[in-house]
Chain A
């Protein structure tokens, strides 16, 4: 069923606009862990344009739940786009019911992505549901000759996303709560001499891209500051529209009260005031 007015993605692009909300087909749904789901849908525009840390709005097909839920783009395969989410309330429960062949409304990609211009050795540091949005960064960075990438991942229990990083040939160091957290892993890697001299064996400076719970990211920021590594964090906040209009998802940063959806979700540790 198409909406009463739905410009096609091609029409929007031809006129120089971003496509608005549209209906796409669900092609796969997998449960990765208790209450953690991976949903895959077909959308060429998002697949071609989503950059690491950008997110998509998904809209439940229930008129009582009108507001979108934002999910970071996890991985992209051809024209297929996957997101990973946990069921935390009635809205996300709607998405957990979707199956291959169903349809869902989407908008995106949205938000400002990680900056990956520098030829660094990127440390992807993720925790819990902050891990999947780093998959797209791993995917893009693994394809580059001028950058290196290592993943440091923390989970509550099931290491549900490791395989999505290893498929790109990336080194993955993961941990769960029985053993510690991502900073435990970073300290171990430091003790092994990985960060000696501030560069890797090819002379690449280390740089951190992180997404996860707020206390984790703050701890990562402090660890990075001790080592002098640049940091970028993908923030989460309760959102409304997701595209910069409603101004409900603000956070207070060192450079002012900013919107997570369109000023972010990526901010540097310096912008967040976490590096002092």
Chain B
């Protein structure tokens, strides 16, 4: 059986062509992109929550990614949610970790310097329970070597902050407006798909000072154990990721691009192949991130980058636009 969740005949033929490719040589990336002025060596990054340096660095050279997006970093250490945190769902998984992390002070002396030492382009994901929390973290990161900040106003698994901010245009505008004053670093706002009109939220973020938008975060979902009749996950609901959400993320990117022609976009959701990454680029994204696929294969992000590179070889017009910081549409 192959590595793809749902390989088509075309993908399988492509597979045979690529059998000799290697992750481990000195790879000269041919098709860079630019996101809010920051050069990425290729258009594929890791998505927040699915990359942990200590775990991933054993499997591939993390500096080869377009960018590494870290797990959410909070002002103080967070223990995350108690109880069961995961349940498989059809072509996906429901997770409710609750942003467990050792806090920004630890991040600044541990993971961030290690990532920079390895040569990675780093997007630091910022988590909070309140505007004050976000402001604390952003202020501490303002002079750090992080290349970009990603404001996580879309986590569905925390009791305050997260999605509560990112689904209300007024709250979002207030939060992002305040953070904008604290840093000159390129600031990405990560959007939730759990809204009626994602374009309206995107516009609020852009007008409040976001330099770029990443979308989508996970969708709210749950599973019930039919032996007990009770929810499997301790948090009751969690965030759905995996191939199941691919068409949803793609439609969100399309809608936001139609509404906001100029803001840089990072497409996320169900990407497990170069072909799926390419669909996001054709929808108007400047770059993409691989999330759930990394949980079923540690080397998936780099594999997607290599596959996409070959697809871009055959699409010079698109590759040229990306290299200049432009998008297909």
Contacts and interface: CB of A to CB of B under 8 A. Distances in A.
Interface stretch (B148-156, B251-259, B260-268, B289-297): B289-297
A21 B55 CA distance: 14
B100 A262 contact: no
A14 B24 CA distance: 9
Contacts of A206: none
Interface in B82-115: 82, 84-88, 90-93, 95, 97, 100
A6 B3 contact: yes
A166 B303 CA distance: 45
Contact of B299 (A21, A67, A244, A252): A21
A212 B136 CA distance: 45
Contacts of B242: 66
Given A20-B59, A246-B97, A66 B5 contact: yes
Interface residues of A, number: 44
B244 to A, nearest CB: 9
A241 B1 contact: no
Nearest to A22: B3
Contacts of A14: 24
A61 B296 CA distance: 12
A255 to B, nearest CB: 13
Given A1-B15, A238-B84, A241-B295, A247 B52 contact: yes
A15 B302 CA distance: 15
B297 A107 contact: yes
Interface stretch (B6-14, B126-134, B210-218): B6-14
Nearest to A18: B58
Nearest to B293: A66
Contact of A1 (B2, B5, B90, B100): B2
A257 B77 CA distance: 12
Contacts of A11: 22-24
A238 B97 CA distance: 13
A7 interface: yes
Nearest to B90: A64
Contacts of A252: 82
Given A17-B58, A248-B86, A257-B79, A4 B296 contact: no
Contact of A67 (B23, B71, B295): B295
A252 B79 CA distance: 10
Interface residues of B, number: 60
Given A17-B60, A21-B297, A241-B294, A66 B93 contact: yes
B24 A241 contact: no
Contact of B23 (A1, A5, A104, A247): A5
Contacts of B84: 238
B40 interface: no
Contacts of B79: 257
Given A61-B1, A250-B85, A4 B297 contact: no
Given A64-B90, A67-B88, A4 B1 contact: no
B120 to A, nearest CB: 15
A11 B59 CA distance: 11
A1 B1 contact: yes
A247 B100 contact: yes
Nearest to A262: B55
Given A3-B3, A245-B298, A240 B86 contact: yes
B63 interface: no
Nearest to B85: A248
B1 A246 contact: no
B21 interface: yes
Contacts of B58: 17-18
A244 B4 contact: no
Interface string A231-262: 00000001111011111111010000100001
A236 to B, nearest CB: 13
Given A5-B23, A66-B92, A243-B55, 9 more contacts: A2-B19, A4-B7, A4-B303, A5-B18, A17-B60, A59-B296, A91-B88, A238-B86, A257-B100
6 contacts: A11-B23, A15-B24, A63-B243, A241-B298, A246-B86, A248-B86
Nearest 4 interchain pairs by C-beta:
A3-B3, A244-B55, A61-B1, A15-B24
